[in-house]
Structure 1
Amino acid sequence: MRRVTIYSIADALGISASTVSRAFSRPDLVKASVREEVLAKAQELGYSPNRAARGLATGRTGVLGLLVPDITNPFFPPMVRAVQRASAHHDAEVLLIDSERSETMEEDLLRRIRPQVDGLVIVSPRLPTSRLRAMLTGIPSVVVNRAVRGLPSVVCDNTRALQQAAEHLHGLGHRRLALVRGPRRSWAAEQRAKAIREWTRPREVDLVELGPFEAQFEAGRTAAGDLVDSGATAAFAFDDLMAAGMIAGLNDRGEQVPADRSIVGCDDVLLARTMTPGLTTVSAPFVDLGRHAVDMLHLLITGAKPSTVTLHGELEVRGTVGAVRRQ
């Protein structure tokens, strides 16, 4: 069989080979209608663009780097899928790297993959701001789930939803609340803690702060003991995985949720919707976070300057909160 090339597509459509080439390598320079015709004809003829050849011609690899701190945390798989699907719309593939919650690995991995990708999406990075900026100098980069001055970011502001959860607990009679803080260098952990602190200041409510803890199931199980010792009747866990660990730890101590204590998580990962009882939590717009990150990165790669995007979480009230038990 004769091999299909860009010249085959050009001949079939009666356009120049350079236009076909740009439809794949620089779609922003081609009319949308023309690119659709090129893609349709390419599919009909069974043509697949050669990324290596295209890279030599354009200086681009067609690959985006995606760094996450812990792929085993259920927050990150839906984020990976969202980024992957959004990247496909820009005819790009995704190279996934997991830093295993290590600053050293994060820095080393970013240094190693920079030459292999056109740009980077970094989710919840742990590196201090100065080192992160230094690592990302000279390569298009978007940060997700952390605001970094001077770098385009996509963040989820959960302030309103967390404060709604606090108000809901207050209405159920809870007057001593626990804030179970997340990882020490987590921007999201600090923002979530700030939201709860701001809500409690003008109210006659006791706030006990526990942690920091890693965003892990076993860390939540450990935190359960601290929660019992604190005397708080309700708790805000940093995320859903930690909340699940706390519920398990409370069960180990003979306590039931929500009969004895109420628990609120954050992110609304699959675990939150499938556990029994269902976890009261704050939903994260995973699809929109991934889509905005990739769209912003594409703008950076093509020379534009996108601004930070702020999305908002929504409160999901389920079965892990209830009225305070009267003594």
Structure 2
Amino acid sequence: MSKVTIYSIAEELNVSASTVSRAFSRPELVKSDVRDQILALAERLGYQPNKTARRLVTGVTGAIGLFVPDITNPFMPPLVRAIQQAAVERDASVLLVDAEEDSRAELGLITRIAGQVDGMIIVSPRSASSVIKQAVGRKPTVLINRVMDGVPSVVCDNTSALREAGGHLVELGHRTIALLRGPSASWAAQRRSEAVRIWARKADVALIELGPFDASFDGGRAGAEAFAESGATAVFAFDDLAACGVVAGLSDRGLRVPAHRSVVGCDDVLLARVLTPSLTTITAPVDDLGTTAVRMLEEALAGNDPEPIRLPGTFVPRDSTGPAAS
């Protein structure tokens, strides 16, 4: 059997080879009835467009660049998977780059990957807005969990859920509560801290701020020491990984959770559910964050300007919070 090409399809349908090519690369330029005939015949004959050749002709790579600050953070793999699945549905591939929690590397990494893809999805970058804009240049870009003027973004808004978590702690009798602040360069950490501060002022509880600490298990262990000595009976950790470190650090000091101290995390990663005790936390809509970011990037690639989107987190009480110790 001879190889199926755009020329053999064109000959059978009595159209030009350029029309067949456009049916795959620029379908909006081909009449719908002609396009349908071309695609139907191509599917019947098992024709697969040569993406490399298409890229050379159109300059379109069919690839999305995905930047993450630290792939080892448990929040990242499910998000990467959601983005990958949404991209595959649009016949796009994903080129992943990990900064390994090194903000100094962000400019170079983003600049390098931006030149190889059609558009960028950047997750929780630590660098200043001017650095991010310099890195992406004119490349269509969507941010996840970071807001920046002039750049489309989708974020998880935990304000209401954190307020609900605070009310849960008050109902359990906690009146002095610690806040373990996350990385100082993290936009999400700043917003979470501010949400807890506003709640604490309105709830008339004593809030003790500690840190900042790294968004890591070791960061949480370091925070546990400060928490244990603070006089607070409950703590908001920046994220679930740090919260797991807090639980371990408290255990090293003979303090059990929730008998002696209560701990609240954020994100609801797998660790939050398998930890003993299971972690009271805020569930982030990870799948929606990923699919929404891909859809917004698709709009940006089409020349549109997507509006920023906020998706709410959900408070989930579990076993790491209990009555305040007397």
Q: Compute the TM-score of the two structures, normalised by the length of structure 1.
A: 0.93
Whole-Å Cα distance in 2 between the matches of residues 145 and 39 of structure 1? 39
Taking a change above 3 Å as real, the CA distance of residues 30 and 241 of structure 1, as seen in their structure-2 partners, is farther
Match of 2:226 in 1: 226
Residue 215 (1) aligns with residue 199 (2): no
Shift of 1:100: 1.1
Within 5 A, what are the aligned runs for 1:146-165?
146-165=146-165
Residue 263 (1) aligns with residue 263 (2): yes
Residue 274 (1) aligns with residue 286 (2): no
Deviations 1:43-79 (A, max 9, x none): 5543332221111221111111000000000011011
Shift of 1:301: 1.2
Shift of 1:137: 2.2
Taking a change above 3 Å as real, the CA distance of residues 213 and 271 of structure 1, as seen in their structure-2 partners, is same
Residue 321 (1) aligns with residue 287 (2): no
Residue 26 (1) aligns with residue 26 (2): yes
Whole-Å Cα distance in 2 between the matches of residues 37 and 320 of structure 1? 60
Residue 81 (1) aligns with residue 81 (2): yes
Whole-Å Cα distance in 1 between the matches of residues 279 and 254 of structure 2? 19
Compare 108-117 and 180-189 and name the one that shifted more: 108-117
The one-letter amino acid of 2:78's match is P
Match of 1:176 in 2: 176
Match of 1:90 in 2: 90
Match of 1:123 in 2: 123
Taking a change above 3 Å as real, the CA distance of residues 271 and 105 of structure 1, as seen in their structure-2 partners, is same
Indicate the SS of the match to 2:203: coil
Match of 2:248 in 1: 248
Deviations 1:138-182 (A, max 9, x none): 111111100111111111100000110000000000001011111
Shift of 1:27: 4.9
Whole-Å Cα distance in 2 between the matches of residues 100 and 304 of structure 1? 32
Taking a change above 3 Å as real, the CA distance of residues 126 and 232 of structure 1, as seen in their structure-2 partners, is same
Taking a change above 3 Å as real, the CA distance of residues 38 and 75 of structure 1, as seen in their structure-2 partners, is farther
Whole-Å Cα distance in 1 between the matches of residues 13 and 291 of structure 2? 32
Taking a change above 3 Å as real, the CA distance of residues 257 and 302 of structure 1, as seen in their structure-2 partners, is same
Whole-Å Cα distance in 2 between the matches of residues 248 and 35 of structure 1? 61
Whole-Å Cα distance in 2 between the matches of residues 37 and 221 of structure 1? 63
Shift of 1:28: 5.3
Deviations 1:201-259 (A, max 9, x none): 12331101111111111111111111000011110110000001111111111111111
Whole-Å Cα distance in 2 between the matches of residues 234 and 227 of structure 1? 9
Deviations 1:109-139 (A, max 9, x none): 1121222110100000011111112222211
Match of 1:113 in 2: 113
Taking a change above 3 Å as real, the CA distance of residues 15 and 293 of structure 1, as seen in their structure-2 partners, is farther
Whole-Å Cα distance in 2 between the matches of residues 33 and 273 of structure 1? 52
Whole-Å Cα distance in 1 between the matches of residues 80 and 191 of structure 2? 23
Moved over 2 A (4+): 4-49
Q: Compute the TM-score of the two structures, normalised by the length of structure 2.
A: 0.93
Q: What is the root-mean-square deviation of aligned Cα atoms in Å?
A: 2.2
Whole-Å Cα distance in 2 between the matches of residues 31 and 73 of structure 1? 48
Whole-Å Cα distance in 1 between the matches of residues 226 and 191 of structure 2? 22
Deviations 1:247-272 (A, max 9, x none): 11111111111111111110011111
Within 5 A, what are the aligned runs for 1:129-140?
129-140=129-140
Whole-Å Cα distance in 2 between the matches of residues 277 and 121 of structure 1? 35
Within 5 A, what are the aligned runs for 1:281-296?
281-296=281-296
% identity of equivalent residues: 56
Whole-Å Cα distance in 1 between the matches of residues 320 and 32 of structure 2? 49
Compare 154-163 and 110-119 and name the one that shifted more: 110-119
Shift of 1:9: 5.0
Unaligned runs of 5+ in 1: none
Unaligned runs of 5+ in 2: none
Whole-Å Cα distance in 1 between the matches of residues 244 and 238 of structure 2? 11
Shift of 1:4: 2.5
Contact 2:176 2:205 in 1 (8 A): yes
Whole-Å Cα distance in 2 between the matches of residues 204 and 297 of structure 1? 43
Compare 34-43 and 144-153 and name the one that shifted more: 34-43
